[in-house]
Every structure is written in C-alpha cells, then in structure tokens.
Structure 1
C-alpha cells in the first residue's frame, strides 16, 4: 500500500510583495509563500471529491498534474516546509501531530437521505454530502486539540461490551473520513502548535 498524501495548511490568498505575488498558506501562526508550481502541487494534494475516502497517493497526484507541474521539486519544497505530510501505516503519529480546521456550516440531513449530511453555506448550496462518520469528524474535530483526541472519542463511542475499539484502530478509520473532507473542501489540516 502506498503512502497517503495530505496537504497541511489553510490557504490565505494571493499576496503581493517586493518579490512579486505569491500564494500564502498558513500553518499555525506562520505564513508560507508559494510560487505557482508549489501552490499547484499543494492544491492537487487535496485530492478529488470523486475519489471519496480512498487513499490519495503521490502517483495519483502526479497523474493529475501531468506535465503541467514539476511535482518532484514541489513535493520536496512542500515537505521541507511541512505543507504536506504522508501517512504510511503510522496513523497515530499523524493524528497526534495534526488537528482539523473546518470550512462552512452543517446543513443537516433530509428525510430522503437520513444517513447523509450536507455541509455548505445556507442560501448558497452544499459543498459536500457525507456519511455520519465523516460528518461527526467534521462537526467535532475542529474543537479537538488534535486528531488523536477525535480518535479517542470515536473509539469510546464505538466500543461495546462485546467489542472494544482502540484509538489506534479509530485512527485508521478516520483517515478515509479526513480524505473525503479535505478533497471536498470542507476541512483543512493544521499542525499542532505548542505554545
């Protein structure tokens, strides 16, 4: 299984300076300036909503980029600035060092699809419709200090007398939910920043 790529940071727009315009991405309190090549690769690292909860690997990113970007150079730059991260089996370390930020508001479910929940903006429409697990992560993940706290919560809620779910197991489950939320533009990852 190949490593799953996640973009890290919150896009804050195109800014001008003496060096010319650059796209800025915030992690914690720090702003990172990206040229067009790095920014394009960072955007593609979000994945495609149609991919759902499936892993998004470097090969998928390269296939989408084609010849339009120098993905090798961009990935090196992005990794050096912690603007992308890869999860290759150790979901716990990833969950302990990252937190979730959200976009939009919850629009609820409908009588026609009671197990699907809409996320978007009232009056403007739905950005994504997700299942209850993804919605729960989106809804509560932004108030948890780390994704690991969300994993612990999911484990405690899904454990039963006859079946115990560990936070480590929940971390593996959350990766798919997170992929869907990030690819749909409903959430972003931020690094856990100590004071």
Structure 2
C-alpha cells in the first residue's frame, strides 16, 4: 500500500538524496591519485630514456649490449603508456562521477579524442586499447632478449610475433577502408 508522503518523510528523503548526491565527490580521491601516478610514470619513463641516452652519448655501450640499451628505451615508452592509461582513468572517473571537463569540451578539435569519455563503456574501451598497446610494447621488450636456441624456441618466437600483429590489428579496428573488426 502506498501512503501519501508526509512532510517529515519527504524532508528526510530529500536530505538523504542530497547526501547521496554529494557522496559521489569521494571519487576525487582516485582521480587525484591517478593524476599523481601519471606524473610519476612520466618522470620514471623520462628517467629510463635519459639513462639510455646517457649511455649512448657517453659511449658506455657494452659489447653486444644494444638489445639491453634498446630494452631500456622501450621501458621508458612502456612507462609513458602506463601513465596515459592512468590519465585516461582519472579523466574518465572525473567526467563520469563528478563533472564534465568544460575546458576539453570547449575545443572542437578535441571532441571525440582519447580523453572524451561519456560512458563507462567508453572508458573501458579506451583503457583496453592503451593497455593492449602497453602489453605489446612489454612483449616487444621481452622479445629483444629472447634466445632462439632450437626449432621450438623459433616457433614460439614466430607465434609471439603473430599474436602481437593480430592484437595490433584488432585494436586498430582492422585495415582502413575494409570491413574488418570494429
């Protein structure tokens, strides 16, 4: 049975709904922490790249150490990609739970970009794309030091390259102009 709302019940309900609406602002904590983590990832990535460049320009490259040096450069790029994923997460949580970012909406050329997030599915889709690219970079780094000793290790290496190519194909949506996966 539905009773007509009383004044005190209605006041309680309105107060509770106001409190419920304001509690969403606690989402600022993961937003701030993801932005701080983004900055930390960028600083660490820059440090990795500077360390590798210092070795190159100072002539400290060990014999047969090119693969290790290249792995350091790739590590820097991987840290940048992780930072980008954290940035997308922070922007997405802010836009979904707190407020639209008006500065981003004011520029027509930026609409539909990587940081334009309007739904939870959009956030997940963009995060998955960046994470897959980061995994591809990490796999590339691992492949730099992969030792091919026999036929089976060569087969594993080839399968790894094929899987990386397929994942890159799927992330980009297929061949431009074709009816590939979208």
TM category (shorter chain) comes to under 0.3
Higher helix content, 1 or 2: 2
Q: Given the two structures, how large is their TM-score scaled by the length of structure 1? A: 0.22
